[in-house]
Structure formats: structure tokens, C-alpha cells
Structure 1
Amino acid sequence: MDSVTCMDNVVLCTDSYKVTHHHQYPPGTTNVYSYFESRGGKFPETVFFGLQYIIKRWLVGQVVTKEKIQEAKEFYKVHFGYDVFNEQGWMHIVEKHNGHLPIRIKAVPEGTMVPVKNVLFTVENTDPEVPWLTNWFETLLVQAWYPMTVATNSRAMKSIIAKYLYETADNMDGLPFKLHDFGFRGASSVETAAIGGASHLVNSMGTDTVAGLVMAKKFYSCDMAGFSIPAAEHSTITTWGKSGEKEAFKNMLQKFNTGLVAVVSDSFDIFNAVESVWGKELKELVMERGRNGGTLVIRPDSGDPPEVVVKVLDLLGKNFPITTNSKGYQLLPPYLRVIQGDGISYETLDSILSNMEKHKWSADNVAFGCGGALLQRLNRDTQKCAYKCSYCEVNGEGRNVYKEPITDLGKKSKKGKLSLERDDKGVLVTIQEGKGSPEKDLLVPVFENGKLLVDQTFAEIRQRAELPLVLQAKKEQKQ
């Protein structure tokens, strides 16, 4: 089988056991209604993001054809050892709906912060002949866990940085560029990097993951979602030899003689590089470049981050003119900054920034690069994401559906048709068993019968996901 064809065939994009499920629903079933939620996990709330990508990539338009059905029929016969595939059901979709999927998806707007244990989207069939279709697409739709979890993780890291900027800096203007995505090479595939990279950009404007930029442009109408700067890697420094490190650094300043440039400086001895090479031998060149609007960003890339970052700042402070800001914290001159790109994660950020604060260094002096911990060190259980049936109709009778395993009540599912509403205190809550108010429901129809109903832009999503602390700081600045 042609692997490219396989990867574009929705009739093949499901778990094997779902191929048999059309035989398993009660006779007379005409409607199956399911929902997706985060049942808990590492973070108490989630940034909902990424469903639009899945819809546009897999569901919009004529996605079912006779050729794809035939391909799937032959494949599943070999896979199971006999013919169990629902050819008739899929042919019905081609003949009655011209290959457009008769399902309806309602979802909370992307970028919305939703406390865990709340519905995020619902799915149901719109043709009573294909009730099995709702959960056929569980496999694809649950993959929303990944962009959602990356966006949530990224925002949580941004929140830590924002807290220290608020406490130790004169303003928070630099926050969009304080957490830079270094994760492309550590992702499991180009598609993973694209999805994860775009998810991080919901919260940030700094990235080296080009695939994420392409995804944001193609699926979320954003011409350019993020930015980067010229930067050295170890090979472009070490090829000059240990004795040539100074010349390698000098070359970076001269070839990129204005704007921001980042130079990895720990190839041999980070402290000597900072104190002697940058702080003495190339000091005048660094300052001259600064007078022309340039900024050198020094990158340590090894050692214990809280200790190394503070020591690098202290050494720079010995050789370059530092100032004290309005909050009493030290600030390097505007032509000099540090980026820590090794060992960065949600768990380590606070220790680095708290040590800087302890030594009276403003968080405005540093940016952070994050790779595996940003895009890869996550799984579906990070936020305990699940897709469950909560309602069906059998022989014209509606049934609330749920599970409640005595061995794990944390997996208890919701009942009936659901709505997401704000209570009297403004807190998002899920109303079950069809008792919600349609006027208050925040779940919006985004897909129906093969058509995308809402095309959300990256700008809208970013606005919804912004930190309250950032909005508060902007308000204070205006006063």
C-alpha cells in the first residue's frame, strides 16, 4: 500500500477495534454523542488549542471516496483475517453525503482557559444511519491533547517568567520573547514539531521551530507568528579551535554588526569567555556594536542553571556598566543580555529566576530556550485527556450514558448532553444531562457535515490566552 495514500485516508485513521464497533451498539441506535475533556493532571486549567488544525487537516470537504473505502476494505480484511469492515456504512456517506462527514462538533473557542474536568468539545452524528461515526473519529480528535497540553505547559512557564518580571523589572514588554522554542530537533516528527511549535506560539513570539510557523500560517491565518535572531552553535565556534575562540566571537560581532545576535560561549570555559574574552578583549567591540543599536546575547549551555546564570551575570556586571531599576534590581546595559537554553523546564524556571532575584538581578536580563521539556516531555496523561460517550438515542428514546468504575472513580464520565457555562462567580462549569442553557453555552458549532463553521485566527486565540498579570501590568502602565 502507498504510505502517502494511507496517511491521507480517514477510513484508515482509527484504532483497529473501532472497525468492529458498528456491530456493537444496541439495535435501533440512531445517535451517539461524545465529549472530550481534561480529567485533571499536572496543571489545574488548560489552554484549549489545536482542534481547528485537526478539522482542517482531516475532516473538511469530501474526505471519503469509493477508492478510499476499497483501499480500507482490502487492508482490514488482511488485518483481521476476515471481512468485518463496514463497507455499507461508508458507502452511505459517499452516496448520500458526497463523501462529506455527517457529524457536528461544538467546541469552546481556542485560546480559552478552562479548568480541568470540564467539557472542551462535543461530537455527534447528524445522520441516524451512521451513529458509529461519532466514536470512529475519537482516535483523531483525541490528538487535540497534544497541542492543548503544549500550549498549557508553555503558558505555565510564561506565567513563572511573568511573575518575576512583574516583581523585578520596570515593565513586561519583553515577555513575548522570554521563552524561545528550541524543540524542533527533539520532536518525534516534523508534524509533531509543527503542531507543538504552533501551540507554544499561542503564548510566545520567540521560536526556532520553523514548522510551527508554517502551521500557524496555513491553519490559523497568521502570516508570521514568531521571530528569531542570528545565533551561533557549537560547531561554528569550535571549528576555529580553542585558541581561536576569541576570533570566532569577533567574527559573530562583525558579520552580524547590528541587531540581536546570540553566541554560545561555553565550548571550553564559560567563565573565562565571559570575564576575559567578552569582558576585556572584545569589550570595546561589544560596546561599539551597542552604540549602533546592536545587542549581544551570551548563551551558557552547560552546568547547573541557577548557579551558572547568576555567575555569568555577576562576571558581566564586573566589566560592563550596570544600572539599578526602579524596583531595586540590577540591569545589564541594553546591548548585553543572556539566554539560558540548557535544562529549562516548568520545574527549573523558578529556581533560576528566584536565585537571580536573591542576587538582585532583574529577570529582564535573561531569556530562556526550551526544547524537549516544551514539545516532547508530555503525553496524554499529563492532563488526563479523554473522549467519552455521554448520550445516545435508541429507538427514538434518549439515554444518558456514563461509566463509573469502582476501581478508579477518577475515570467517572459525564452524563447526557453537555454545555459549558459560567456560574454566578464567573467560573466555568459543565452542566450535564441536557439541563444547560443554550444562551449561556460557550460551546460553539465549529464543524458540521463536512464544513468548517468558524475559522479562528491566531490573533484571536492569543488574545484569549493572555495572562491576567500581563493585562494588569499594561493597565498599570497606562495609569
Structure 2
Amino acid sequence: MAYQAAGTDNILLVTDSYKVTHHMQYPPNTTNVYSYFESRGGKFEKTVFFGLQYIIKRWLCGKVVTEEKIQEAKELYHKHFMKDHFNVEGWRYILETYDGHLPIRIKSVPEGMVVPYKNVLFTVENTDPKCHWLTNYFETLLVQVWYPMTVATNSRYQKEIIAKYLDETAETLDKLPFMLHDFGFRGSSSVESAGIGGCSHLVNFMGTDTIAGITTARRYYGCDIAGFSIPAAEHSTITTWGKDGEVEAFRNMLTRFPDGLVACVSDSYNIWDACEKVWGGKLKSLVEQRKNGSLVVRPDSGDPPTVVVQVLDILAKCFGKSLNKKGYYLLPPYIRVIQGDGISYETLGAILENMKINKWSAENLAFGSGGALLQRLDRDTQKCAFKCSYAVCNGKEVNVYKAPITDPGKKSKKGRLTLEKTKDGNFVTVEEGAGDVKKDILETVFENGKLLKDFSFDEVRANAEIDLVNQRKKEKSDSQ
């Protein structure tokens, strides 16, 4: 028997318990509830909006309400509350009137768009006055866009750091898409989160070992193959040969994978001896014979800024080095290095800066990141929140907001919202219905059970591209 992931595919059960009672709590004759989602602040000043399409396709499209699901929810909630608080009549109305399709409208910014925090990113409202309670019933599910959004944002900010040093120390940015590799599958909380997070990283890069991320991009964003990898050793495939057999383990990597890129973890015992006496000694001729790719040496312990430079220095002593046009050293094309231990937004700069100080081009190195890339994040990283800002109660329009005296940072926005750009190109959220709908960046992506806008992964990537890459592309195009 195959069990369902997370225990349910019943949309009626994908909410917080207390929301089940909210249909009884709105003012009498409420007919419309309108809510919005934003990053209220956080670690990064701008956010890459990504992942709502996954949630919509996974949970909201088509006939998602059935009599069987209503009965399952009714039984569970009765036992859960020990009272009949579940809105059976409301859900049955949706089933009978809309054939189980959800009468809500979602408007959002384009996926991949980079928006400064404290701006609206998407809005939700009911399209049937009898279903006002439905809008915030889905807050629980929709707020989970914080995860793909934050992974994509974190990854993009790391891309900016790498690109800066690559631009300063290398002749092109061509290798940038493969310079931060996703090692995060095993460190993720579930296969599903690895898929969502891995896909979010691929918005910015094309290197990954998280297969779930590739399949998520394929299924939900129409991308046939979003990421690539290479043969690589782990400690078990080296240490099973024994300490005395390390040379043969390394030789096996070179002969089993005679061309193209191959990575080999080299710190099982003594990284310095591995680089100088094995790769640069006993196996030197095999390394130099490599065609159509490089041996990628992987240190996996120690202080990364120190270890990376020392490894580069030893390999240069054995294999030589050349000076590029920017005045920085390059190893021969058949050998490179990957640092996959201790990599995060906070550590990248120190490694690349120490390389630069020691006259090494960033082009010699790639990075692998796991827990810090996909897991060391939470909803408060970007202070994501979903709040009601407008309602119609007893025929009267109400601009809804909260303004806690104890925390001004939690003050919410009022009324209907538009996201617009000023003349100088800055984003601004216009409140209380005072915006120009013709200038509104938000577009309807879902309405009454149907996906109205299907973003391709190419579109997402183009929207999220960093300024430096776009600038260099334009310069190259203008010079041709």
C-alpha cells in the first residue's frame, strides 16, 4: 500500500484547526474578504517571488472538493473539536454550485520577479459572496510560498557574491550558472521540501544533485531538465579501498570516468598529501591526459578560506598555473577545485576574498551547499505574512488593518492594493484602492479553479537574473 505524502490530499484538511471555525466569526452579512501576502522585512532587502504556481497546481486547480472529502473532513473535525464546527453547508455549496472548483481569485507578481520587501506580492479574495470565509481558510497553505521564495532569494544573493568576484578576477561570467551546486537533498526535512527548495535554487543556478528539484521544475514549470550534475566520489567510495588503497581509489575515478568532469573527495586522510603526492605525483600523467573536462578536487574539512587557497597553491606547484588578462592565476583546464563544506551566504565572501588576495581567479573554484541552502531558513527570514486588508460587511466597504502598539513592524496594509513602479523605477504598494489598476503589476493567475497564467522556468529565470549578468550581456551585445 502506498501512503500519501504528509497524510492527506484533501484540501479541506490543509489548514490550521482554528480556521475551521472562522466561518462563524466574521461580522453578519460579510460578502467579501480580501487578503494579501508580503515580506515585511527580513535578512534580504529584496525577495525573489517564486513557488506560488507550485502550490496552485499541486492543490487548487480543478475539482478539489468532493462529497468524500467533505465527509472525511466532517468526521475528523468532529473528533478533533468534539463539536460540529466544520462548515459542511459551505463546502457542499461549493461542490454543488461550482462542481468542487474553488471560487477564489489570486493575483500575483510574475514568478521570478525581484521585489523589495514591504510590498504586496499576491492577493486573494472570494468571487462568490457566500464564500467570504474561503479566502483566509487557505492562508495556511498559501503562506508556505515563503519557503521557495526564501530559498530562491538566498540563492540569488549568493549568486551576486560569486558573480562579483568572478567579474573581478575572471575574463567572463560563463561559468557562473554552475558555481553553486545543490547538495541539500539529504539535509531537507522531506522529499517534498527538497523538491520545492531544490527547484527554487535552480531559478538561479544549473548545478544540482537534488533530483527532486529537477522533477519539480519539470512537473510544475514545464522545464524538461533544469539542472545538471557529474560523476562524483563520496568518502565511502574512497575509504572502502583502505588508507593504503587511496591511490588506487583515485586511479579508479580517473579510469572509470576518462573524460568530462569528475569530482573526487580528497580529504579522507591527508588532503595535502592527496594533492601533492597522489594527484600531483603518482597520478599526474593521468590527470594531465584528461580530455573535455576537469578533475575536480574536493576538500571537505578544515577552515574553508585557508584550505581552498592552500589546495590551489599545492596543485599549482605540481601542475603549474597561468595568468589571465585580469591578472589572476588559473590552474590548467584539466584540474579544478570544489568546496562543499561550510558553504553559505555568510561564508562565500571570505573564501573568495582570500582567493583574490592570493591572486587566484574565482574561476578555479565551484561551491556545493546543503543545509544552509535548503534548510537553514524559516518564515521569519523574510518575515512573511498574510493579512486581510479589505472586506465588505453588510454592504459596507471596510479597509481592514492591524497596528499593534507593541510592534509597529507588524502594522498591516489597508484596503485594496496595487503594486506599481514609480517614474524612477522603484516599487510602491498603493493602499486603500487609490492605485491605478492599469499600472498594477499584479496579474490574475488563478480564478474559480483555473490556472490563468502558467509561467515557464525560462520566464522565471529571466525575471530573477542578477543585474551584473544582464549588464554584461548588454555590453557584449552592444559591442557586436
Distance 2:24 2:80 in 1: 18
For residues 57-99 of structure 1, the C-alpha deviation after alignment (integer angstroms, 9 at most, x for no partner) is: 0000000011100100000000001111110000000010000
For residues 314-346 of structure 1, the C-alpha deviation after alignment (integer angstroms, 9 at most, x for no partner) is: 001101121101110000111111000000000
Distance 2:174 2:4 in 1: 45
Matched to 1:342, the amino acid is D
Matched to 2:4, the amino acid is V
Cα deviation for residue 438 of structure 1 reads 1.0
Cα deviation for residue 474 of structure 1 reads 2.2
Which consecutive segments of 4 or more residues in structure 1 shift more than 6 A? none
Match of 1:208 in 2: 209
The answer to whether structure 1 residue 312 and structure 2 residue 316 are counterparts is no
Match of 1:283 in 2: 284
The answer to whether structure 1 residue 395 and structure 2 residue 425 are counterparts is no
Within 5 Å, which residues of 2 pair with 1:392-431? 392-431=391-430
Aligned residues: CA RMSD: 0.9
Matched to 2:432, the amino acid is E
Match of 1:84 in 2: 85
Distance 2:165 2:97 in 1: 58
Match of 1:330 in 2: 329
Matched to 1:23, the amino acid is M
Match of 2:362 in 1: 363
Query: 3-state DSSP class of the match of 1:191?
Result: helix
Within 5 Å, which residues of 2 pair with 1:291-310? 292-310=291-309
Query: 3-state DSSP class of the match of 2:473?
Result: helix
Work out the percentage of aligned pairs sharing the same amino acid.
69
Match of 1:268 in 2: 269
Query: 3-state DSSP class of the match of 2:289?
Result: helix
Distance 1:255 1:117 in 2: 53
For residues 215-234 of structure 1, the C-alpha deviation after alignment (integer angstroms, 9 at most, x for no partner) is: 00000000000000000000
Distance 2:129 2:122 in 1: 21
Contact conserved, 1:257 with 1:294, CA < 8 A, in 2? no
Distance 2:476 2:254 in 1: 35
TM-score by length of 2: 0.98
Distance 2:235 2:198 in 1: 23
The answer to whether structure 1 residue 69 and structure 2 residue 70 are counterparts is yes
Matched to 1:469, the amino acid is L
The answer to whether structure 1 residue 4 and structure 2 residue 38 are counterparts is no
Match of 2:165 in 1: 164
| Structure 1 unaligned residues grouped into runs of 5+ | none
Query: 3-state DSSP class of the match of 1:146?
Result: helix
Distance 1:68 1:432 in 2: 38
Within 5 Å, which residues of 2 pair with 1:72-471? 72-289=73-290, 292-471=291-470
Contact conserved, 1:421 with 1:431, CA < 8 A, in 2? yes
Distance 2:140 2:193 in 1: 16
Distance 2:32 2:473 in 1: 49
For residues 378-433 of structure 1, the C-alpha deviation after alignment (integer angstroms, 9 at most, x for no partner) is: 00000000000000001111110000000001000000000000012111110000
TM-score by length of 1: 0.98
| Structure 2 unaligned residues grouped into runs of 5+ | none
Matched to 2:123, the amino acid is T
Distance 1:294 1:353 in 2: 23
Cα deviation for residue 3 of structure 1 reads 6.1
Query: 3-state DSSP class of the match of 1:439?
Result: helix
Contact conserved, 1:166 with 1:473, CA < 8 A, in 2? no
The answer to whether structure 1 residue 22 and structure 2 residue 23 are counterparts is yes
For residues 353-381 of structure 1, the C-alpha deviation after alignment (integer angstroms, 9 at most, x for no partner) is: 00000000000000000000000000000
Matched to 2:334, the amino acid is Y
Distance 1:339 1:278 in 2: 15
Count of paired positions: 476
Match of 1:477 in 2: 476
Cα deviation for residue 294 of structure 1 reads 3.1
For residues 18-53 of structure 1, the C-alpha deviation after alignment (integer angstroms, 9 at most, x for no partner) is: 000000000010000000000000000000000000
Contact conserved, 1:38 with 1:385, CA < 8 A, in 2? yes
Query: 3-state DSSP class of the match of 1:56?
Result: helix
Distance 1:95 1:294 in 2: 61
